[in-house]
Amino acid sequence: MDISFFLPTDSGMFLGFNADARAPVVPRLVPGTADGGHAFVALGSGGSAEASVNVHGIAIALDMAAARPLEGNEPEPGAREPGDALRAALATASTAEGARDAIVAMAERCLASRRVPLSRARLHAMYLIMAADGAYRLETAGRRWAWKSLDYPDCFAGSYALDDDYKRVDAATRKAIAPVNERMACLDEADPGRVGSKESWRVYVEARGPTAAGEFRRRALLPLLAPAAQAGTRAAAFALLRAHRVPDLGLPLRHRDACGHGGPFGDGRNASSMLVELDRATGALTAWFTAAPLACANLFKPVPVVDGRFVPLWDGLGMGEPADATRPVAYWSARRAALSGAAGSIGRAEARAGALAEAQATVAESVDAYRSGNRGPGPAAAIARAVADWDAAKLP
């Protein structure tokens, strides 16, 4: 399952995402439209969108969790895909609140779900939304939904996480688990006027068995978030996406892998990673993409937003004019081959962690120089050299 996090700091905020898949998961630029639709970069496989960011700094990560069957909540013919809701929100919204409401509106008409093998449960969409005006955790189950705002670090990994701390839920769910006195003005689930105490959204909707592994990964990553937020640097945010052998406090003898190797020899899950960085003071936005499997073995390549448009500072992402959709897939496949088997092992990745941090710092310095006004070829050339040198380096 995927893993994502929201990380607010004193100076800004980050949204990080690791995609788990075996197919190429690459970023692609979706241009703006003549009728005012916003341009955005979608990270996904083929035409899908699993995590994306638009030119207004609205960043959204999508994950799936298993819900038990609920009466009147069956998927309907023609239901929209969860990725459709993500793309629609990015194309129309200029705030996190607007993106949240756009997804809720589509959820109330029913979002498509996926069947869990050997189970009556189905996988439903969850969204982590971030922008300058705030952040939200939005969880759905067919036409049911619940959300809360976030002003603290949080993450999810294929399991529901809202308990009785939701801010709003849909009307049917409110009647079931959050009843109110209809004679009193109760605008949300925290207002006075409630008939009784709220019940847990998670307990109400979740099918526990199919998503237990996701909860284990989330439980392991959560303790790392506060120290990373206190550090407040992009290096700390990158480190979360590259983390290995994270202790599981619920099972002291077990460790979890936030990076998503899927085994000791890199034979499994991690297909690509994204980090969105937003500066509170200046509004500066930079999206970072590995465009390759294994965040711990690849550099994040920058795509800053400058003057209302995405500026890819590394041409391997295929976002130039004209866009080239074949280039990122070819790069992804080449890196997958280079890091297959023992070459992509956790041990080899950890042996190169220091060198990777130094190379990433070089790339970051080039981005900062570009933002400071150096719009010549220097920053892009320095990034190209750093990526080429890293990719060509002999593995230990």
CB half-sphere exposure, 206, CA atoms < 13 A: 22
Higher-confidence position of 247 and 201: 201
At residue 212 the predicted structure's pLDDT band, cuts being 50, 70 and 90, is low
In a domain, 91, yes or no: yes
Closest-CA residue to 297 (of 325, 332, 248)? 332
Q: Tell me what pLDDT residue 107 has.
A: 92
In a domain, 324, yes or no: yes
Domain of 280: which CATH number?
A: 3.60.60.10
- Tally Cβ neighbours within 10 Å of residue 392: 8
Q: Tell me what pLDDT residue 64 has.
A: 92
C-alpha pair distances (Å), 16 with each of 96, 98, 274, 276, 361: 16, 21, 6, 6, 18
Q: Which segments of 280-388 are extended strands (E)?
A: 285-289, 301-306, 309-310
In a domain, 185, yes or no: no
Q: Is the pLDDT of residue 255 over 80?
A: no
DSSP-assigned letters across all residues of 166-221: -SEE-HHHHHHHS-B-TTS---STTSS-BSSPPPPHHHHHB-TGGGHHHHHHHHHH
pLDDT in tens, 50-78: 999 999 999 999 999 999 888 777 666 77
Q: Tell me what pLDDT residue 216 has.
A: 77
* Best-predicted range by mean pLDDT (171-175, 318-322, 358-362): 358-362
Mean predicted lDDT score pLDDT of the chain: 88
At residue 152 the predicted structure's pLDDT band, cuts being 50, 70 and 90, is very high
In a domain, 192, yes or no: no
Tell the residue number behind the tokens 């080899």, with chain if given: 348
pTM over 0.85: yes
**DSSP 3-state of 305:** strand
In a domain, 31, yes or no: yes
In a domain, 157, yes or no: yes
Copy the structure tokens of residue 69: 């069957």
Expressed in percent and rounded to 5, the helix, strand and coil fractions of the chain are 35, 25, 40
The residue segments making up the domain with residue 225 are 3-163+200-392
Phi, psi of 268, rounded to the nearest 5 degrees: -130, -110
Q: Tell me what pLDDT residue 267 has.
A: 43
Q: Is the pLDDT of residue 262 over 70?
A: no
Q: Judge contact between 110 and 79, C-beta under 8 A.
A: yes
In a domain, 177, yes or no: no
Average pLDDT over residues 317-325: 83
- List 261's β-bridge partners, or say none: none
Lowest mean pLDDT among 24-33, 240-249, 255-264, 320-329: 255-264
d(CA 356, CA 372): 24
Q: Tell me what pLDDT residue 269 has.
A: 67
At residue 196 the predicted structure's pLDDT band, cuts being 50, 70 and 90, is low
At residue 2 the predicted structure's pLDDT band, cuts being 50, 70 and 90, is confident
d(CA 296, CA 293): 9
Q: What angle do CA 185, 189, 191 make, to 5 degrees?
A: 45
Average pLDDT over residues 132-149: 95
Q: Tell me what pLDDT residue 265 has.
A: 40
CA 116 to chain centre: 22
Question: Beta 154-156 vs 144-150: how paired, if at all?
Answer: unpaired
Cβ burial of 265 (10 Å; 0-12, 13-18, 19+) is middle
**DSSP 3-state of 50:** coil
Total of domains in the chain: 1
Q: Tell me what pLDDT residue 297 has.
A: 92
In a domain, 260, yes or no: yes
d(CA 52, CA 41): 6
pLDDT in tens, 329-379: 999 999 999 988 777 788 888 899 999 999 999 999 999 999 999 999 999
